Structure 1
């Protein structure tokens, strides 16, 4: 049975790639709470923050102790802190405003994901999900860690002993994902047995349990931004959406009341935890690709939790599937032939940022179509040009109508310019005046150009040589980076100094013969038998006179070179200079 497709024009979701961001090789991304800043972790261990409004780079954090690729980045509630986990088993906490490193913790396992506590404006506790190990709570100030329970046993709420192991040596029920709820009172842990454990973040006790149909490994577990819905991604290639029945504020106290009021006689503690979990989460829908049966990667909710997006985990595919909350497929977005490794949906806008294996961040946005009727209600779009007939009174001034409009304006009304309207997407509990929304851009100066400095030095040297009265030689000009000035035109009379600078040494008879052999086609200046310079004799030019067959012979006159009386005088002067 074919899955019904909803009309794409009815949804507010991205449709096409608008642009891409490039800075090194990015591996993971995360929006801040307002969606104005986008943090990204790079393969060289650095973290960058993009101003998402201008698409400009606002900050870059580098730690000399960390050069390993970043696995995840996480914002604090009001954007003052940024947490980065790396493959060298480290957790680094940054001050977003100053760019200073606040703390650095090294764990025993590589953290795949790390999240700061969402209930504090300046948190010092984070939740880390190491590789092949139970999730832990880490105190970034002291470095102490608390291991969370991975399964509920009949004897107590402690992790099961590692007496039984799989063939690869990994312990059973190894969790793969964990997350805080909206305010950080509860922690939802997914394990490899296909269970969701509800753990108290303070007492570290299992308060409820929700079995997942199929009982496969939970790879991802994500809460919606408003905390009303929970999403899980399992190895059975199905994304499941749960509705959170607990209140957003005071969820810890509410589940304690559920446990207290549950006085039914259950056969085991496991059954009681299942009953408690059934009053916390209710399965809403399941989504999957029934035809291709692909694995999903980095699923998440939209900002208003109306849409669900999941990326195909197939190699070489940058494909996004979008469903509505009822589980109906809405849109399939095809990207470049690059595998996708991470994505994030903007908190407010229909915009998705996805990271490819090539290290680029692609920005998916809604394709806007110009609608001029939205600006002018009387505007009508025409398919063809039409002749417009002007009405007689169309541009006449109607004084009465203008006077009525002026009377409708209450000029005595008080205008409030101090009260700020609160964003409807945030409650009073979440709003804060100290929240970091934008970061001032730090301009980076361009690399100084060395060429102008060289020209400046050369020009100063040239000025000094001009003032001294001696022209620079060709060798000095080459060393100083100056261009050798071209020779003066034969029509210009050079000075005595210039004439001396242009003189050349006389060639021997053998050298003259070699020069003439090289320049057979160009008979420039010829030498006489005694080695003196001589001008080539002009050839007679025959021109017809008045169309008659008889010709008039014109003789070209050889003028003295450079105003001298004869070429012999020039040669004699050169000979005297050579002797000196």
Structure 2
């Protein structure tokens, strides 16, 4: 059970609460469902993907499949599937419903060495699909509505849209809808694409180029719908906030920029710019807080581990989190709580939280905080809250209750649908021209959704739940004569 959030508490972390020993180079919280933020995926420098429980600080999955560093991670809509991409030019979709941690495998009877080794499942059994590319993959993300649609960014400067439903692959290019091939089409093709993401509703693809342009692309027709000059240098990262109406970009000029997305036409409007003017800090990771009130930037210092936090509306620097004396590689903000996870060059994962001192007076009105211990005489009936006979009878009744610890509970609320950017009615009211433009935009978005919903995947869980196969473990214990 997660702790209830205090609406008046501080909404950003202050210090490192714990450290997870790993070999990580990339991290990502699971962002959706009733268990949002309960699990943390860590992509390792050795090609191993680890999944950690944020509450218990324990590793619950180990996925072995890559042979080089894992640079990008993505969770599916209901968190059943995990996508990892690596510099070995592959992207792997893992099915987390299959038990895959080598230390958590159900044991098999030792009839023979060959049969025992062959019947024991391995982490490769959790592999659902393996997608191979012609170049190392820097990032890869799921489509928000279908985990069989993947958007991959290659280190060679290409963005590839992969559709596993029909096995098609399309390389996105800077071609404007309705235009003939311009005279400078060859020079335009030489512009590389450095990053790409889906919009939270999945109706658009946003890509950043090496010449500072942000392109809005229709995933069905693969035409460029909008083209905005964001910076005069290469764009390195693009992230959306939870609402889907704000984008933050990171460019090689060491500046972070926020742009507003119009829900009707997907028009981009620059809003704010964040930059460390004193030290000219480069940024290795960017993002928003869960509620979108704060902007996060993971600094790329060579001898420091700092995370900058700004207020999104006022652009005021709120806090600089100072960690161990080693560079930061990647960081991610918890989707619902003021928690940040960051990765250092050593591979260790640091969990930042807000320290909240215990207020014992909040438990009962009679509690008093003392500066030093005093002697207290207990009354004879002070703690006689319930009659001993009634207490014994109630305990006997509770012993007969059966508790199911093997099956996944089904009374959890369903995972929320990806955010919708369909405009409300008042946005398309007014002149006939505005109405026609708004209705055409809505039809285009609905067409993309229908395309994405064709051939749905198996990601239909009501919530992400990692459990052990206790039936087989308990059955083997009984066979071995263990209590």
TM-score scaled to structure 2, two decimals? 0.69
Q: Structure 1 residues 429 and 127, CA, compared in 2 at 3 Å: closer, same or farther?
A: closer
> Runs of 5+ in structure 1 lacking a partner?
1-8, 165-170, 247-253, 256-276, 389-393, 396-417, 446-580
The answer to whether structure 1 residue 194 and structure 2 residue 194 are counterparts is: no
2-side partners of 1:419 and 1:94: how far apart?
23
1:282 is matched with which residue?
A: 269
The alpha carbon displacement at 1:335 in A equals 0.8
The alpha carbon displacement at 1:435 in A equals 3.3
1-side partners of 2:175 and 2:225: how far apart?
11
The answer to whether structure 1 residue 439 and structure 2 residue 428 are counterparts is: no
1:28 is matched with which residue?
A: 26
Q: Bigger CA drift: 367-376 or 330-339? A: 367-376
2:153 is matched with which residue?
A: 129
1:68 is matched with which residue?
A: 68
Contact 1:152/1:159 (<8 A) preserved: no
The answer to whether structure 1 residue 211 and structure 2 residue 209 are counterparts is: no
Contact 2:413/2:462 (<8 A) preserved: no
The alpha carbon displacement at 1:219 in A equals 0.8
The alpha carbon displacement at 1:281 in A equals 2.4
Contact 2:285/2:330 (<8 A) preserved: yes
Contact 1:30/1:39 (<8 A) preserved: yes
SS of structure 2 residue aligned to 1:350: coil
SS of structure 1 residue aligned to 2:193: coil
What is the correspondence of 1:412-423 to structure 2 with a 5 Å cutoff? none
What is the correspondence of 1:523-538 to structure 2 with a 5 Å cutoff? none
2-side partners of 1:112 and 1:158: how far apart?
30
2-side partners of 1:163 and 1:428: how far apart?
37
Contact 1:103/1:141 (<8 A) preserved: no
The alpha carbon displacement at 1:101 in A equals 1.4
2:199 is matched with which residue?
A: 181
The answer to whether structure 1 residue 332 and structure 2 residue 350 are counterparts is: no
The alpha carbon displacement at 1:185 in A equals 0.8
Contact 1:29/1:39 (<8 A) preserved: yes
1:19 is matched with which residue?
A: 18
The match for 1:223 among 236, 240, 255 is 240
Contact 1:105/1:140 (<8 A) preserved: no
The alpha carbon displacement at 1:86 in A equals 0.9
The answer to whether structure 1 residue 89 and structure 2 residue 89 are counterparts is: yes
SS of structure 2 residue aligned to 1:124: strand
Contact 1:27/1:43 (<8 A) preserved: yes
The answer to whether structure 1 residue 341 and structure 2 residue 329 are counterparts is: yes
SS of structure 1 residue aligned to 2:210: coil
Q: Structure 1 residues 217 and 372, CA, compared in 2 at 3 Å: closer, same or farther?
A: same
Q: Structure 1 residues 109 and 216, CA, compared in 2 at 3 Å: closer, same or farther?
A: same
SS of structure 1 residue aligned to 2:361: helix
Contact 1:149/1:159 (<8 A) preserved: no
1:144 is matched with which residue?
A: 168
SS of structure 2 residue aligned to 1:176: strand
> Runs of 5+ in structure 2 lacking a partner?
1-7, 99-124, 377-381, 384-408, 421-458, 474-483
Q: Structure 1 residues 52 and 10, CA, compared in 2 at 3 Å: closer, same or farther?
A: closer
Contact 2:201/2:419 (<8 A) preserved: no
2-side partners of 1:421 and 1:301: how far apart?
27
1-side partners of 2:25 and 2:185: how far apart?
35
Q: Structure 1 residues 159 and 149, CA, compared in 2 at 3 Å: closer, same or farther?
A: farther
The answer to whether structure 1 residue 113 and structure 2 residue 101 are counterparts is: no
Contact 1:150/1:175 (<8 A) preserved: no
SS of structure 2 residue aligned to 1:78: coil
The alpha carbon displacement at 1:79 in A equals 0.9
1-side partners of 2:320 and 2:202: how far apart?
34
The alpha carbon displacement at 1:367 in A equals 1.0
Question: What is the RMSD computed on CA atoms of the aligned residues?
Answer: 3.4
Q: Structure 1 residues 159 and 182, CA, compared in 2 at 3 Å: closer, same or farther?
A: farther
Q: Structure 1 residues 363 and 441, CA, compared in 2 at 3 Å: closer, same or farther?
A: farther
The alpha carbon displacement at 1:427 in A equals 6.5
1:33-65 CA-partner distances (Å, limit 9, x unpaired)? 2111111112222212112222222111222xx
1:76-112 CA-partner distances (Å, limit 9, x unpaired)? 1101111111111111111111152111121112110
2-side partners of 1:281 and 1:331: how far apart?
28
Q: Which has the larger radius of gyration?
A: 1
The answer to whether structure 1 residue 372 and structure 2 residue 374 are counterparts is: no
The alpha carbon displacement at 1:293 in A equals 1.1
2:347 is matched with which residue?
A: 359
1:77 is matched with which residue?
A: 77
SS of structure 2 residue aligned to 1:207: strand
Q: Structure 1 residues 206 and 163, CA, compared in 2 at 3 Å: closer, same or farther?
A: closer
Q: Structure 1 residues 203 and 377, CA, compared in 2 at 3 Å: closer, same or farther?
A: farther
1-side partners of 2:332 and 2:321: how far apart?
15
